[in-house]
Amino acid sequence: MAYISCAQFMSFPLIENTEHLPLASWYPFDHTKSPLYEVLYIWQWFMNQVVITTLSGFDVFFNAIVMVCSTQFQVLQDVLENLCLGKGRKQWDYMEIKSESRIVHENEAIVVCVKQHLKMISVCEMVESTFAHIVFIQFIVSTLAICVSCVSLIADPTQFQHMLSYCVAHLLQFFIYCSVGNELTFQSGLVAESAYNCDWERNTNNLFLMRSLAMIIQRAQRPETLTVGGLMQLSFANFMGSIQLSFSFYTLLNSYV
């Protein structure tokens, strides 16, 4: 979507058959003459593609990390649900647990689960501390871009198609951020339900297993969250709140147009 919006914007001078460059700029020479105009046009197109690729690369990188974390929580859910069942032996073999006793198997497996859960919590906290401020900047930029593009739709109808695609691109970008953040919170919270559904009532004589499951459930009841600079959580509810905030700014700006 970003590349489509960029292509529409950069091709605007060709469509309108004007001598203006796509990006308003000043040069100490007459840039409207050939071949200077063509060289500057290609240069602006190339640099715009570099910027779009850089921004899109960060989005893909961030979303990939968060989705990997969500998938790891799903794997942990599957292991916990099968912990006390007969098919759980497959999970134990996968984790290279060699003991023959069923109780020993369960105790070793729950230790692996606890360590994995703690490791995933640590990774999520690291992602939050690393990207929270960057996501905050992205949130501010997206909110302002949506406001400005909506105002431009009203103020300059000739740029309707370009401004509409620009607005949709920023909406889609922040929606993906909120989507992966919401998925991480949802999957990390389901760990508690999976731990409870592992048929623990068949092993009430195994106090170590009971205590370990209780610790996992208690910790998982505080699901992992990603925030926008520590101000608000990345979720679908806050995505709708950001749209409302953008509309409020749009109403304010529109009153001065």
Distance CA 66, CA 72 (A): 10
Candidates 193, 177, 140, 169; CA nearest to 66 is: 177
CB 236 within 8 A of CB 179: yes
Q: So what's the pLDDT on residue 106?
A: 78
Question: CA 176, CA 170: separation in Å to the nearest integer?
Answer: 10
Task: Tell me if 62 sits within 8 A of 126, measured CB to CB.
Answer: no
Please, are residues 63 and 176 in contact by the beta-carbon 8 Å criterion? Answer: yes
Kindly list the distances between the CA atom of residue 120 and the CA atoms of 57, 124, 206, in Å, as whole numbers in the listed order. Answer: 24, 6, 26
Residue 6, pLDDT score: 66
pLDDT of residue 71: 94
Tally: H helices and E strands in the chain: 8, 0
pLDDT at 94: 41
Cα separation, 254 vs 147, whole angstroms: 9
- Provide the residue-wise pLDDT of the chain in tens; the chain has 257 residues: 566 666 666 666 666 667 777 777 777 777 777 787 788 888 888 887 888 888 788 888 999 999 999 999 999 999 888 877 644 444 444 444 444 466 777 788 889 999 999 999 999 999 999 998 988 988 888 888 888 777 777 777 776 777 777 788 888 888 999 999 999 999 999 999 998 888 777 777 778 888 899 999 999 999 999 998 888 888 888 888 888 877 777 777 767 66
Residue-level pLDDT at 99: 42
State the pLDDT at residue 122.
Answer: 94
Pairwise CA distance, residues 234 & 135, whole Å: 9
pTM of this structure: 0.77
